[in-house]
Chain A
Amino acid sequence: MKKKAVFVNILLICFAILSIILAVGIGPVSVSPVVTAKVLFSKLPILGNLIAQTWDAVSENIIMNLRLPRVLLGFVVGASLSVCGVAMQAMTRNNLADPFVLGVSSGAASFATLGMLFGAFSFLGIYSLSVSAFLGAAVTTVLVYVLSRVRGRINVTQLLLSGVAVSMIMDGITSIIKLSAPNALGLHSAEFWMSGSLAGAKWAYLGLPALVLVLCMAFLMLNHRGLNILLLGDESAVSLGVNVAGLQKGLVLVASLMAGATVAVSGTIGFVGLMVPHFTRLLVGSDHRRVLPVSALLGGVLVVWVDVAARLLIAPEELPVGVLTALIGGPVFIVLLRKSNREKR
């Protein structure tokens, strides 16, 4: 199992690099993968000097300023959403938890729009959106978690229903703002917030979500034993030396940070955090030491390719990425729901 996991990781890293190179080339103006690879490698220190410039400035401009930030942002967003899903599933001990299903993404989106409407946190400059999205994510995570705890245990029905209710309330708030103060949404349309998009990605958007991903990933990897043990239930977890209340607070914080940071740059892209951990567990088992890195890679690759499809399917128009992930993820969710009901019987 251990060797297999290392193999899966190496394979996925290669696949991820390949995906990024290919995805950068695909679009209204296509650039060949060889040229893309050359441009990218020429930007690397030391190695870059060895590559002779054989491409035109337009291609380089498209690659470096339009496509690459978008593809990388897609990767970071996908990885964050997947890891966020893993964290929420450990916290609720349930494989149906996901930032979108539980309404956390909607919460982040509506707080972000509220933040823009009232100009809260505007002193934080480009990070103001992320901060209000984080607050929204944290508020909804805590709300849904508290609502679904019945006598100390998470009740699945309660969890899903409170997720639906909270996400409808939050989407309602976003819609009201959209209708009453359309200009308050600024650069992003209401559609962006509710169905997600990576269009208009800039290098400046990339830093914060990437940093949040790295930090949260580090926290989760350090606590991988605790995450495994948390799945045994609170009583067993305490007897195995896990500070349950402390770890759960950490998970709420980590999940909210990742959901907030991604929603601020890409709107609500649904079901990634649900699908990816599920397929990861099929691949490498349930041990979080393996689940975390593999689902980060898998999630990044998935969103990169779904975004390519979103660009191509109705070109020159673009589909919102969230619409596509919902089309793929919805059926997966239904299958999982049916499966979890069968197991209970």
Chain B
Amino acid sequence: MRLEVKNLCYSYDESNAIKDVSFSVARGEFVGIIGPNGGGKSTVLKNVYRALNPDRGEILLDNENVHKMPYKKSARKMAVVGQENDLPFDFTVEEIVAMGRSPQKRLFDIDTAQDRHMVHHALEHLGLENSHKRSYQSLSGGEKQRVILARAVCSECDFFVLDEPTNHLDISYQLEIFDFIKRLNITVLAAIHDLNMAALYCDRLYVMKGGEIVLSGTPEEVLTPENIFDIYGVYSKVTKNPENGKLSISYFSGHSKKGT
């Protein structure tokens, strides 16, 4: 087991955001967490990548408690691709990507040829080799997301945590980013909004609602019209795309329980 989350509890102030959540990700798996807004997807991931400290429960990465590791060690084991950062100062694309090398560096280390090679490699991989001197702030949302992904790539981690990275991107960037990650053949834990994306890329899904995991299984098991109605309160039709054998979900407007 690559990642094991056991009985995780976390609360913002008074309200319980996460109640007793347990799940696991095996080596090489692409696991998605889906669910309605405010269901706790992002909170769980933030506990995994240490942006939040759990109230109770254990998070084991390679059988070691993540929250007891030095920060550098956990950063060497998992890379996070979140939403793009807004920066108070302007950095070049290359400088942002090079930050991905930081977990590998000790206090007195200088940047080596190996570091420059990895940065260049990551830039090339994402088609950024010609914009390495451009200012990060001047990029579009999709381009910024590519830079963040390049930063994760050059960290040489083989476990990626994706915290809803493609929410605000157009469909071409969404596919590009997920295709790229899928091709890396690494272990992935991702919070995903779009059920079609989840069906397309994930090996297994967990559904979070009200801070709890209410369902889990393969996309075929989880993404049925009945389940989708239970989770989101919307009517849908689920078909199998004959081209790639993946599920495809279409929604009906005006039949939502919420009346939208």
Contact = CB atoms under 8 A, between A and B. Distances in A.
B87 A232 contact: yes
B113 interface: no
A236 B85 contact: yes
B103 interface: yes
A238 B74 CA distance: 9
Contact of A241 (B75, B85, B92): B75
B51 A238 contact: yes
Contacts of B102: 225-226, 229, 240-242
B81 to A, nearest CB: 9
A228 interface: yes
A240 to B, nearest CB: 5
A118 B100 CA distance: 51
Contacts of B194: none
Interface string B72-111: 1111101110100111111110010001101101011000
Contact of B88 (A93, A226, A236): A93
A233 B51 CA distance: 10
B257 to A, nearest CB: 32
A95 B107 contact: no
B49 interface: yes
A239 interface: yes
B49 A241 contact: no
Given A222-B107, A232-B99, A241 B72 contact: yes
B79 A239 contact: yes
A234 B90 CA distance: 18
Contacts of A231: 87-89, 91
A286 B49 contact: no
Contacts of B50: 238-239
A119 interface: no
B74 A241 contact: yes
A94 interface: yes
B71 interface: yes
A228 B95 contact: yes
B19 interface: no
Nearest to B80: A239
B46 interface: yes
B117 to A, nearest CB: 16
B131 to A, nearest CB: 15
Given A232-B85, A238-B49, A285 B80 contact: no
B51 A240 contact: no
Interface string A213-256: 00000000011011011011111101111110000000000000
Contacts of B91: 228, 231, 285-287
Interface in B47-66: 49-51
A226 B103 CA distance: 10
A236 B107 contact: no
B47 to A, nearest CB: 11
A281 interface: yes
Interface in B171-213: none
Contacts of A89: 88
Interface in A39-93: 89, 93
Given A239-B75, A239-B161, 14 more contacts: A95-B89, A223-B107, A236-B82, A236-B85, A238-B50, A240-B99, A241-B71, A241-B75, A241-B76, A242-B71, A242-B102, A285-B90, A285-B92, A287-B95
10 contacts: A225-B99, A232-B85, A239-B49, A239-B51, A239-B79, A241-B73, A242-B71, A243-B71, A281-B90, A286-B91
